[in-house]
Structure 1
Amino acid sequence: MKITISQAPDYNEKEVTIGAWLANKRSSGKIAFLQLRDGTGFMQAVVAKNDIEEEVFQTAKNLTQETSIYITGKIVEDKRSAFGYEMHVTNLEVIHEAEDYPITPKEHGTEFLMDHRHLWLRSKKQHAIMKVRNEIIRATYEFFNNQGFVKVDPPILTASSAEGTTELFHTKYFDEEAYLSQSGQLYMEAAAMALGKVFSFGPTFRAEKSKTRRHLIEFWMIEPEMAFIEHEESLVIQENYVMFLIQSVLKNCKLELDVLERDISKLEKIQAPFPRITYDEAIELLKEKGFDDIEWGDDFGAPHETAIADSFDNPVFIVNYPKDIKAFYMQPHPDRDDVVLCADLIAPEGYGEVIGGSERIHDYDLMKQRYEEHGLTGPAYEWYLELRKYGSIPHSGFGLGLERTVAWLTGVEHIRETIPFPRLLNRLHP
């Protein structure tokens, strides 16, 4: 019977065969301990000289790191291991012998590991991060499907900027100018006018020359848009979504969080509703914490967001930012013309903004005024303005950055480890 490591608990006391790679090994006289991985998990296999043929035992002792094998034996419960089971080996067959595998159990520098990212992914820690990432994606689909959202895929090649920035990757689209998408939001608004509640999940690109631990050039966003939903209602959906992600990871990724040595008590104590402070209050809070240079109208950097987050046990919403530092499409505050109905959700522990969202302008004349203020002309933007011309309604949306969320929930320090093949300012391969 051929099985995977993840299926081993279902085959306790039965003899099975597993296709695996040798992650590590140690031997002590008449016994060898093989650390196996097969993509579904990690497990120890015990090879006892007295229980198998001499030739098989010598093969086991001479296995090199990352050699691929078929290994046969009895699955036995072992409460000492994190996985809970091990294999007592009766036979093994070498498929391909790996020679001079470059990533050894010793310490390696970050640049070396990034140069070998295609191999670094095989390590136990990187495997755990990718499993948590997968769980967040799975839970995202479950949450929005259960809430009646429809998955819609916006284009990656676009003729315009979603947020009016110049930090775009430019390309030629036959005889036209085109850009790699920095957000699917504008298209998702059109989809919401057709389907009510929609969400997208896809790659976005920012030509931002940043080297901080929070930034990637290519990253993945979950972007819901909701018809007939106003700002306050959107905030409730956001915190419910984040709570669902946290609970799903805690429930389904216990082994991975243990591998990553994540302090799960910090996640377990998070409860909705999340605190909310206005931008005005955030400025005052920062001044009290010694940020004397911050002024009303300034955007927040990583140190500011961390200082604000450290004042709360939960993630915190900062609401009502100044109009001039936010995107052109955000709905003005009903009582003030200098701020807009928006919110950034700041994660605890220094992980920064994980969600940005707002109510969108739905009045045609006001949106046309914003177009004129920002110089948005031509067919690349005309269709978006048209959404306000034919049955316009209040609507809201937000975007959650997948990699920042993975970093936060796993406790990983640098965002480059949260995506399989990171694109950084100085890195386009592997």
Structure 2
Amino acid sequence: MATKSVIRNVNQHVGETVTIGSWLNNKRSSGKIQFLQLRDGTGYIQGVVLKNEVSEDVWNKAKSLTQESSAYVTGVIREEPRSPSGYEMTVTDIEIIQITENYPITPKEHGIDFLMDHRHLWLRSSKQRAILVIRAEIIRAIQQFFDTNGFTLVDPPILTPTAAEGTTNLFHTKYFEEDAYLTQSGQLYMEAAAMALGRVYSFGPTFRAEKSKTRRHLIEFWMIEPEMAFVDHEENLRIQEQFVSHVVQSVLKNCRQELETIGRDISKLENIKAPFPRITYDEAIEFLHFQGFDIPWGEDFGAPHETAIAEKYDKPVFITHYPTGIKSFYMKPDPNRPEVVLCADLIAPEGYGEIIGGSQRIDDPELLEERFKEHNLPVEAYQWYLDIRKYGTVPHSGFGLGLERTVAWICGLDHVRETIPFPRMLYRLYP
């Protein structure tokens, strides 16, 4: 009896007869030979059907298979250096599960709207599968980094009574008789958790109701948000660059074949190792003026500005010490220069923009109360957040990494819509 296997493990069965549950990705024939391109979710393998070595029934079953038809295919595994996987199957039997008719996504070119309407099927393509495998490896590497460096995973709420960064881009809902919002960040809650556990991180969905249609924005996305007690701005930056380096090197080590499948220039990733270059906001403004940009001091950077800065470097670059007026209320001012804050945005190379935003947080309760007034935030709604400073305040820092932007950069994708299984964008809630 044949051993049941998956394509990923056929290297363990060379010379043996195995059965693989699979779909037909593609097919070609040459007289008395049929070549079946099979996939099973774990990988791809070519099944070779020789007319003179199988029954007429098996031969006809192979002929009847159409794109995305499903079947149990049995055969002998052999090494094949010319194959991308290094192995092939000499087919001996086929048990058809379903013959598919008129599969919508054919090998021809399709428009992006058509593909997004059929996202549930587009995921089956080799490129989309490879992206999701890389995404899963990035998630695994993220959790490994924090779990092995003294961080505790904490889950902040998704429904919140207040905003982390203003209410203009929040999804509003009713929580029985009260107003509530879908979270735009778990950061404030993670600060409370850090005071209990020292170093914590969250990993969960966040929502931004921005009516943005850029290639960098999604409405629903995943954020990784560490918070660390007794960590200042400088140590925060060191942890960030070690973290990003670890993730990129893990993908290079464990997903080389997937990177090749999507055509990623691997050489651009091999150089991503700490330390990363750093420039201040002031230096960035000076550079942009030299490059011909008309941007005044005190204005935030847009995508063209970030891209111009990133082009100077072959690694991610920190832009530090932004003006206080354009950053969030909780960021700690530089003691030597209160008009800027102890913060940094990490800009990915190759035009992928900000992948991390972080800062040292305000630990002075009186200063935080002043910030509430300046930003017109109701003190009663944020009293719990102020309590963190009233009872045992300490220097603390944190950051947030956007998963989908990071996947887009590591994969070299043009748009974040391919970085998540079912993207939610301004005009897309289907499928």
For Structure 1 versus Structure 2, the TM-score category normalised by the shorter chain is over 0.9
Match of 2:305 in 1: 304
CA–CA distance in 1 between the matches of 2:209 and 2:179? Answer: 16
Match of 2:91 in 1: 89
Q: Which amino acid aligns with 1:237?
A: I
Match of 2:156 in 1: 154
Match of 1:385 in 2: 386
Q: CA shift at 1:44, angstroms?
A: 1.2
Contact 2:372-2:379 at 8 Å conserved across structures: no
Match of 2:329 in 1: 328
Match of 1:198 in 2: 200
Match of 1:127 in 2: 129
Match of 1:356 in 2: 357
Q: Secondary structure at the match of 1:101?
A: coil
Q: Deviations over 1:273-324 (max 9, x none)?
A: 1000000000111111111x21111111111100000011111000000111
Contact 1:82-1:255 at 8 Å conserved across structures: no
CA–CA distance in 1 between the matches of 2:280 and 2:83? Answer: 48
Match of 1:170 in 2: 172
Q: Secondary structure at the match of 2:339?
A: coil
State the percentage of identical aligned residues: 69
Aligned CA-pair RMSD: 0.8
Q: Secondary structure at the match of 1:223?
A: strand
Q: CA shift at 1:61, angstroms?
A: 1.7
Q: Secondary structure at the match of 2:75?
A: strand
CA–CA distance in 1 between the matches of 2:82 and 2:40? Answer: 21
Q: Deviations over 1:216-275 (max 9, x none)?
A: 000000110001001100100000000000110000001100101100000112221100
CA–CA distance in 1 between the matches of 2:19 and 2:381? Answer: 58
Q: How does 1:214-363 map to 2 (within 5 A)?
A: 214-291=216-293, 293-363=294-364
Q: CA shift at 1:378, angstroms?
A: 4.8
Q: CA shift at 1:165, angstroms?
A: 4.1
Match of 1:13 in 2: 15
Q: CA shift at 1:336, angstroms?
A: 0.7
Q: Which runs of 5 or more residues in structure 1 are unaligned?
A: none
CA–CA distance in 2 between the matches of 1:189 and 1:286? Answer: 35
Range that drifts further, 195-204 or 57-66: 57-66
Which portions of structure 1, spanning 4 or more consecutive aligned residues, are displaced by more than 3 angstroms?
none
Residue 24 of structure 1 pairs with residue 26 of structure 2:
yes
CA–CA distance in 2 between the matches of 1:367 and 1:351? Answer: 33
Q: Deviations over 1:31-60 (max 9, x none)?
A: 111111111111111111111111111211
Residue 429 of structure 1 pairs with residue 430 of structure 2:
yes
CA–CA distance in 2 between the matches of 1:409 and 1:219? Answer: 17
CA–CA distance in 1 between the matches of 2:315 and 2:357? Answer: 17
Aligned length: 429
CA–CA distance in 1 between the matches of 2:264 and 2:9? Answer: 25
The two structures have a TM-score, normalised by structure 1, of 0.99
Q: Which amino acid aligns with 2:246?
A: F
CA–CA distance in 2 between the matches of 1:415 and 1:406? Answer: 8
Contact 2:64-2:99 at 8 Å conserved across structures: no
Q: Secondary structure at the match of 2:371?
A: helix
CA–CA distance in 1 between the matches of 2:83 and 2:260? Answer: 12
CA–CA distance in 1 between the matches of 2:19 and 2:126? Answer: 22
CA–CA distance in 2 between the matches of 1:225 and 1:269? Answer: 27
Match of 1:79 in 2: 81
CA–CA distance in 2 between the matches of 1:379 and 1:64? Answer: 64
Q: Which amino acid aligns with 1:385?
A: L
CA–CA distance in 1 between the matches of 2:83 and 2:270? Answer: 24
Q: Which runs of 5 or more residues in structure 2 are unaligned?
A: none
Q: Deviations over 1:59-89 (max 9, x none)?
A: 1122111111000001111111221111111
Contact 1:318-1:343 at 8 Å conserved across structures: yes
User: Aligned pair in 2 of structure 1 residues 35, 379: CA closer, same or farther (>3 Å)?
Assistant: farther
Q: CA shift at 1:11, angstroms?
A: 1.0
Range that drifts further, 74-83 or 250-259: 74-83
